[in-house]
């Protein structure tokens, strides 16, 4: 078999894997949206009441319910939503009448920017610290780093956020305490606004990356082939960066994948704390208003993001370790 043919075959194999994974994701998406839809109907409170206000007459409530299709049976409401969602129509907000797709589209870039910055920070801090810690196994530096990382995992991100605001926004006035400016409006201001929330969101991730990488690296550094490398006379630096890190790549990719969903979840808290108009604040606002279509839309998009991340992580395994294939 020529090299070219082999590569073509590998590519189709890859495509087949991607295709299969995407198909497998569909039931997950349906299940996720169904669970959220059911939960929404389980929590007390009524969008009609939220729209009509406190002393609405029962007639007015009934009228609003029928306008919004809330008088339909539960399963019908869900199927109706699903039918439209498949065609890309996420419906309109119950409280403002705006298209849910538009609302999400306005907010998504903000959350993605913030999430990306947080991930960058988690990896940028976590990886060097993890290496430093593993290569100084059982030395004071290792103990110190591990200690700080454990603390980092234990401290809730909203608390970190509050301390950051107090020190860097109020006392030093280096960074803004709240709000967000889009990349397309003014990238410099985006950077200023993103620093504190990204730290609040990413620091826990950095601690986790550090700890996972440390234990993976220690494992690798102890293995026989590393001893061979050392005997061969490779420099410490080459050993760690070229050989050990590559072998610790799988757990690293896994933890980064997990961090994506963690960061998306935590953005609800951090965006509220910093008054950032992203998906997190949108879903909080929508929940208090019982704005079902908006909540459903955000859940769908978030679930989609997580599934895509998982797919990317799975595929990255094949590149990190070519021995892994179907």
Positions touching another protein (CB under 8 A) are: 43-46, 49-57, 60, 63, 93, 95-98, 103, 106, 124, 128, 162, 165-166, 169-170, 172-179, 188, 191-192, 195, 272-275, 277, 281-282, 284-285, 288, 290
* Closest CB 311 distance from another protein, rounded Å: 29
Beta carbons of 146 and 134 less than 8 angstroms apart: no
User: Which one, 50 or 250, has the nearer CB to another protein?
Assistant: 50
Shortest distance (Å) from residue 317 CB to another protein? 26
Please name every residue paired with 99 in a beta bridge, in sequence order, or none if there are none.
92
Judged by beta carbon, residue 60 or residue 243, the one nearer another protein is 60
Nearer to another protein, 11 or 178 (CB): 178
Min separation Cβ 319 and another protein, Å: 24
Closest CB to another protein among 45 and 69?
A: 45
Expressed in percent and rounded to 5, the helix, strand and coil fractions of the chain are 80, 0, 20
Closest among 174, 29, 170, 198 to 110, alpha carbons compared:
198
Nearer to another protein, 48 or 300 (CB): 48
Cα atoms found within 13 Å of the Cα of residue 18, Cβ hemisphere only: 13
Using DSSP's 3-state secondary structure scheme, residue 72 falls into coil
Closest distance to another protein from the beta carbon of 141 (Å): 13
Report CA-CA distances (Å) from 139 to 101, 212, 222, 293: 53, 18, 16, 55
CA distance readout (Å), 26 to 14, 19, 213 = 19, 11, 32
Shortest distance in whole angstroms from residue 240 CB to another protein: 14
């Amino acid at each position: 078999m020529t090299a070219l043919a082999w590569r073509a075959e590998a590519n189709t194999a890859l495509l087949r894997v991607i295709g299969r994974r995407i198909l497998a994701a569909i039931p997950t998406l349906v299940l996720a949206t169904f669970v959220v839809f059911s939960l929404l109907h389980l929590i007390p409170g009524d969008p009609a009441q939220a729209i009509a206000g406190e002393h609405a007459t029962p007639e007015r409530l009934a009228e609003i319910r029928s306008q919004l299709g809330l008088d339909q049976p539960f399963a019908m409401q869900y199927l109706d939503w699903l039918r439209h969602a498949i065609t890309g129509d996420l419906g309109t907000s119950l409280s403002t009448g705006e298209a849910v797709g538009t609302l999400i589209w306005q907010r998504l870039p903000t959350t993605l920017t913030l999430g990306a910055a947080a991930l960058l920070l988690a990896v940028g801090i976590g990886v060097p610290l993890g290496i430093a810690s593993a290569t100084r196994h059982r030395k004071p530096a290792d103990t110190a780093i591990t200690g700080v990382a454990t603390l980092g995992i234990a401290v809730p991100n909203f608390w970190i956020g509050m301390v950051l605001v107090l020190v860097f926004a109020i006392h030093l006035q280096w960074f803004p305490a709240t709000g967000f400016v889009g990349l397309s409006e003014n990238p410099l201001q985006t950077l200023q606004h993103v620093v504190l929330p990204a730290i609040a969101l990413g620091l826990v991730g950095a601690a986790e990356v550090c700890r996972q990488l440390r234990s993976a690296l220690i494992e690798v550094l102890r293995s026989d082939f590393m001893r061979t490398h050392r005997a061969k006379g490779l420099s410490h630096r080459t050993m760690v960066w070229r050989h050990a890190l590559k072998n610790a790549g799988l757990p690293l990719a896994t933890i980064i994948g997990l961090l994506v969903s963690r960061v998306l979840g935590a953005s609800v808290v951090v965006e509220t704390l910093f008054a950032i108009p992203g998906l997190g604040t949108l879903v909080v606002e929508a929940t208090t208003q019982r704005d079902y279509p908006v909540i459903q839309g955000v859940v769908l998009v978030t679930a989609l993001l997580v599934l895509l991340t998982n797919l990317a992580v799975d595929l990255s395994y094949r590149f990190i370790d070519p021995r892994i294939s179907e």
